[in-house]
Amino acid sequence: MKNLPTLILASQSPRRAELLQRLNLPFEARPANINEESLRHLEPARMALELATQKAQAIWQPGQWVLAADTVVALGDETLGKPRDPQENRRFLQRLSGRQHTVYTGFAILKPDGGLHREVALTQVAFRPLQAWEIEWYIQSGEGLDKAGGYGAQGLGMVLLERIEGDFYTVMGLPVSRVWQRLYELGYFGLEPHRPDPKEL
């Protein structure tokens, strides 16, 4: 595939940028500035979806392909955002220790004509019981301060995890396979989506 249009990534996340680089997709990171606090009252899946949608809409211009995503970590009905400081990071990890939580990543794609597609993926993550020294070790690394839930599954945080049920990349911040499929279906690759022959059904 050659001469694909530049995909505008409405995110400052180095992890999302890394995933698009792995796919060899031409993109430009252009972080969106929205008021995230105004959506904190929403339940987690809806919050992830609305945050992604607003980010995409904030930077879209006619003729552009825009991709935005947002990740929300939920422990029960409570949302755990990015820790404000190491103390809050410690509280997050103490609460996640030995328990299962849900990671929601919503994504939105805006087409050059303004057509919008959006959806949300979820993955279940279980932490093993953590020892106090492990929590302190992780906090001192500083890795969790810019991540929803206070940890990064793709970095040092991998030692905190017991199991993942679902798509790992949803936890990393972008459900890559689903985004790829939607880009294809929406015409980004310039290919006609496959329509199954009725005889195949």
Q: Which residue has the tokens 């180095």?
A: 14
- CA distances (Å), origin 181, targets 26, 44, 55, 120, 139: 17, 24, 21, 14, 37
Sign of the CA dihedral running 3, 7, 8, 14: negative
Closest CA to 148 of 69, 55, 68: 69
Quote helix, strand, coil % in the chain, to nearest 5. Answer: 40, 25, 35
Per the annotation, the verdict on 70 as an active-site residue is: yes
**What phi and psi values does residue 166 have, to the nearest 5 degrees?**
130, -165
Helix (H, G, I), strand (E, B) or coil at 52: helix
Distance CA 88, CA 154 (A): 21
Catalytic residue selected from 70, 77, 167, 197? 70
Q: What are the residue numbers of the active site?
A: 70
